[in-house]
Structure formats: C-alpha cells, structure tokens
Structure 1
Amino acid sequence: MGPALLFCPADRPERYGKAAERADAVILDLEDAVAPDAKRDARGHVASSRLDPARTIVRIGALGTADADADLAALAATEYTTVMVPKAEDPMALRALADRGYAVIGLCETAAGVVAAAELAAVPGVVALMWGAEDLVASMGGTSSRDARGQYRAVVQHARATVHLAAAARGVASIDAVHLDIADEAGLAEEASDAAALGFAATACIHPSQVAVVRRAHAPGTDQLAWAERVLAAAKGERGVFSFDGVMVDEPVLRHARAILRRVVPR
C-alpha cells in the first residue's frame, strides 16, 4: 500500500483512469464526495469500471445505512474487494463485512471511532486504519481541527497518534489523513514526512498535485539512504552493540535503518 492514495469522486468516471495512473492506489469515493442525488449513477459507474483491483479501494457509505447496502450491492458486480468504511466504530460490523470476503480499511473519524481504534484493528480482515480530522472535530461539537498557525490542535494530534498506535500494535497499516489546503504543498510535505518517519504506510490525497509531494516525503533522502546502507553494512562485522560514526548502534537503530530501505519504491 501507498505511499500516495488518491480519492476520486465516484460520480466522475472520466477521472478514474487518470487517478489510478497517477497514484499508488485510487479510492473511489461513494460517500462524502458524491451528492445524494448522484449516488445511484455513481454506483453504476463503479460497477462498470475496470480498474486494477489490487490498487483500487472503494469508500462506501457508513455501515447500517441504506447507502452502504446499495454501495455493497453495486460492488458485488465488480472484482473490487478492498473497502473503506467511514465513521467506523463497531468492531462487529467490520467483522461482518470481512466475513463477506472484503479487506476492510476502518476510517476512524469520530470520537467513538478513535476510542475504539484498538478493537477495530484487532478484527480479522481489517487490513488498515485511517483517521480523519474534520469529521472527528464535528463529532465532538467543534468547529476547527487546526489552530491559528495551521497546526492540528492537541486533541486531533492525540487522535492521530491513537489510531496509528492501534494499527501498529495489531500489525496492520495506518493511513494518514488528507491535507485539505491543496495549495499548501509545504504543509503537506511536512505532515507527510512526519507520517513516514513515524511509520504510517501511506498518506491520503484529495488532488492529483498532492501525489508527487507525498511520494517525495515518504521516500528516504539521499543522505538518509546512504546512512542506512552504511550502518547495515557495518553491522555485518559486529556482534551486539557497536559504535558507528560516534553514535551507539543497537538493534532498534538497525531496525530504523531497515525501515528506511523498505521505503524505497522502484518506479
């Protein structure tokens, strides 16, 4: 998965192919990106599309709603098997979906969903968790996820960390939230770099221009890559803890180096 996942409104089929070409995976969005009166046609567009199932995710409506039922009925006519569940809160609901053969991405974007993140990540068939800031703040009666400096407020940062820790504890991937300010490439780069450093598998994008920024941010820099290769090469001649460039190196440091190398994606 990842590092750049691109949302595409499901009622814009002319964009499907371009989104799939530009990103590492495309998220066909049947939920918030589609107006209520356009959902029926959007489902038809998804059902008739022929994207690579291995790189296609479909965001359905919230489970327990008529929209979700209709979305899943449309998916039955496709080869798409990875679904993103918005406002995920109920582990049993995700389990029922996984039992139908779907790989499930739980989107923790409400206060209840964030609190339940560990339980959601533990459900067999859940392959990833993602978090969302705006719905989360709305679920708490708030009005803004960011402060005057453009930084996430403390409770939002806590939610991000909670979802990421829950996913990591269960060995499933975690996906960082979208950056809504499309023109703010510097802010997106900073957040995506932080996500990569913390071990997020991917960052979600809402515009094609964000894909390249996210890919650069998740990829290791030249100096970082050179350090990882050198320290791992040095470790082959050592037993236990050793000193490298004046810094103590033990197994956690070597694991950091291996993680850097895993972030190199051939293109």
Structure 2
Amino acid sequence: MTLPVAESFGNAWAPAGPAMLFCPADRPERYQKAADRADVVILDLEDAVAPENRVAAREALIAHPLDPDRTVVRINPAGTGDYRRDLAALSDTNYRVVMLAKAETVGSVTETAIQTIALIETPTGVVRVNDIAAGVNCIGLMWGAEDLVAGLGGKSSRFGPDEPRSGTYRDVARHARSAVRLAAAASGKFAVDSVHIDFRDIDGLRDEVTDAVALGYAATACIHPSQVEIIRAGYSPSDEELQWARRVIDGAAEFGGGVFSIDGQMIDGPVFRQAEAVLSRAAASAASSTEASPAPTT
C-alpha cells in the first residue's frame, strides 16, 4: 500500500466507539485480544516499545494485521529516525490512521501524508494546538499528561494523597485538557481524552469519563482491558438522559424550532444541540455493543 498524499478528508476516520486501548506493537500475541475487547486498538510503536525492540515491532505490525477501521498506529515523534522507519513500515500495511506522538507543529502532522491524530503532550504542543488542529490531515486530537509534566520539569500531573483534591489533575494538566478540547471543536475535529494510568482506580476513571462526556470528548484512551467497560458505560447515556433528549427533539418539532420549556427548563438552540449529542452517543454506544466480540476469558 502507498500512503495517500495529504488532502481534505471528506470521509475522515472516526473512532468506532469510545474505548481506545493501547497495545504494545512488539507483543503481537496481544493484538487480537485487544481488538476483541476494545472499540479501537492503538498499536504503539513509541513509549510501549523499547528502542531495541522497534524493528521487531514493525515486523509484527506487518505480519499480524488487524481491522484497519478499528486500528490506529502510534508512531514516534517527527524528526526522529524511528518516525521515518515507522511510516515506511506502514506503507506495507492497510492501516490508514496514525497517532503522532509529541506533535508540536502543523508541519509534523501534514508530513505524515496520512490521516493523523495529533497527540498533544509537550508544552510546545499545547501552545500550538490551535494551529496543529487546523492541519489538513489532522482528523483528531489527544492529549497526554505525564510527558507534558515531564517537559515542564515537574514530577506529577495529579495531586498526591496528602494534598487537597487528591488524585485529580493539577491545573496545568486541566489547562492542556481544555485547550485540546477547544482546539478540536474549533477545527471540527474529534478529541480523545488521556489515559487514567492507575487502572485499579475505578472511581477515578469513572469520574474522568463523566467529565469527558460532559465536555464532548469522543473517546477515552486506556491502557488495560479492565478499563474498557467502565469507559463504555460512561459514554452510554442513561435512560433518564435518553428520555430527556427525545422530549427535547419532539418538542422542537412541535414548536417549530422556537424556544419552549420542559419541566421548567428553557429549551433553545444550544440545549437542542446537547440533546442531539445525547442521541448520537446512544447510537454510537449501540453500534459499539453490536460490533463488540465476547470478552476473552483469559
């Protein structure tokens, strides 16, 4: 396969569901298990693979293909030798979407010449995120907390157990998260929320998913299969939300698109769009549940 020249992607790729699971590219025995469990697999050629294992990882990427519609390949940062070698390996696969690690310029995104999710995880990337999001082949954004804080010379993206707001993001991480979401929306691209690295912290993940949904994130990345169902459940609207959304849509049709009220709540254009978003999440959740294979038993 020859990588396509960058162009305006009228039918740009989008996540098949909200749970995007990272899988080390040098562990091909895990590929199918990850695909069976998650909505999207992110085959990782960067941080999850030791530099000395990247040749084997690229060979595995080629030899063990997954469904390209449900697979993203995270490649190494622009300007590195591994970046070039990663793109060369992709030319021997049917994968059509990459995640560019440590994206810092719009040029580094367009240079891939393939649909690209820009991973914003450095101070420079955060400062330039609006320009990056506008890139012609940038189809979405994701942000990363730990590399960002390392780039600041810090030691933790979250408040510690003995600090107020224990376990939640520090303000600089929250700023990056907001900046990524705003830039994605302004450019009409989807946004993926960062991983919750403590996979044992179910309540913390659940809270972050709830917040991501409230802010219009399309998906949440994860590092452990046990996180998948928590993410899916968080993105799936409750029966009460669905009932409210349907009443809003029906009311708008009845009142001809004008302002009206439901149970004392004024319904206007922005609220109508929120109701549409709830129904869209419900449809995506239903599609994800239909396509998902049974979870592995081992």
Q: Normalising by structure 2, report the TM-score.
A: 0.87
SS of the residue 1:263 aligns to: helix
For 1:247-262, list aligned pairs within 5 A. 247-262=265-280
For residue 27 of structure 1, report the CA deviation from its aligned partner: 0.3
Matched, 1:184 2:184: no
Matched, 1:75 2:90: yes
Give the match for residue 120 of structure 1. 132
Structure 2 residue corresponding to 1:232, chosen from 230, 243, 249 = 249
Equivalents in 2 of 1:258, 1:247: separation in Å?
16
For residue 242 of structure 1, report the CA deviation from its aligned partner: 0.9
For residue 236 of structure 1, report the CA deviation from its aligned partner: 1.4
Name the amino acid aligned to 1:49: H
For residue 13 of structure 1, report the CA deviation from its aligned partner: 0.2
For residue 229 of structure 1, report the CA deviation from its aligned partner: 0.9
Matched, 1:34 2:52: no
Equivalents in 2 of 1:32, 1:221: separation in Å?
36
Give the match for residue 45 of structure 1. 60
SS of the residue 1:58 aligns to: strand
Equivalents in 1 of 2:122, 2:159: separation in Å?
19
SS of the residue 1:77 aligns to: coil
For residue 73 of structure 1, report the CA deviation from its aligned partner: 1.3
Equivalents in 2 of 1:72, 1:95: separation in Å?
13
- Identity across matched positions, percent: 54
For residue 152 of structure 1, report the CA deviation from its aligned partner: 0.4
Higher relative contact order at CA 8 Å, sep ≥6: structure 1 or structure 2? Answer: 2
Give the match for residue 63 of structure 1. 78
Give the match for residue 186 of structure 2. 169
Matched, 1:244 2:250: no
Name the amino acid aligned to 1:89: E
Equivalents in 1 of 2:94, 2:103: separation in Å?
23
Give aligned pairs, total: 264
Alpha carbons 2:87, 2:112 under 8 Å: kept: no
For residue 246 of structure 1, report the CA deviation from its aligned partner: 1.3
For residue 45 of structure 1, report the CA deviation from its aligned partner: 0.2
Give the match for residue 139 of structure 1. 151
Question: How big is each residue's C-alpha offset from its partner over 1:50-70, in whole Å with a ceiling of 9 and x where there is no partner?
Answer: 211111100011111011111
Give the match for residue 13 of structure 1. 28
SS of the residue 1:34 aligns to: coil
Question: How big is each residue's C-alpha offset from its partner over 1:118-177, in whole Å with a ceiling of 9 and x where there is no partner?
Answer: 000100011000000000000011101001201100111011000110011000010000
Question: How big is each residue's C-alpha offset from its partner over 1:70-90, in whole Å with a ceiling of 9 and x where there is no partner?
Answer: 111111110011000011001
SS of the residue 2:254 aligns to: coil
Q: Normalising by structure 1, report the TM-score.
A: 0.97
Equivalents in 2 of 1:92, 1:36: separation in Å?
25
Moved more, 197-206 or 69-78: 69-78
Q: Please report the RMSD computed on the Cα atoms of aligned residues, expressed in angstroms.
A: 0.8
Equivalents in 1 of 2:40, 2:141: separation in Å?
15
For residue 234 of structure 1, report the CA deviation from its aligned partner: 1.9
For residue 33 of structure 1, report the CA deviation from its aligned partner: 0.2
Structure 2 residue corresponding to 1:210, chosen from 222, 227, 242 = 227
Q: Post-superposition, which runs of at least 4 consecutive aligned residues in structure 1 deviate over 6 A? A: none
SS of the residue 2:43 aligns to: strand
Question: How big is each residue's C-alpha offset from its partner over 1:9-29, in whole Å with a ceiling of 9 and x where there is no partner?
Answer: 001101100111111110000
Matched, 1:97 2:112: yes
Structure 1 residue corresponding to 2:173, chosen from 156, 159, 183 = 156
Give the match for residue 239 of structure 2. 222
For residue 215 of structure 1, report the CA deviation from its aligned partner: 0.4
SS of the residue 1:236 aligns to: helix
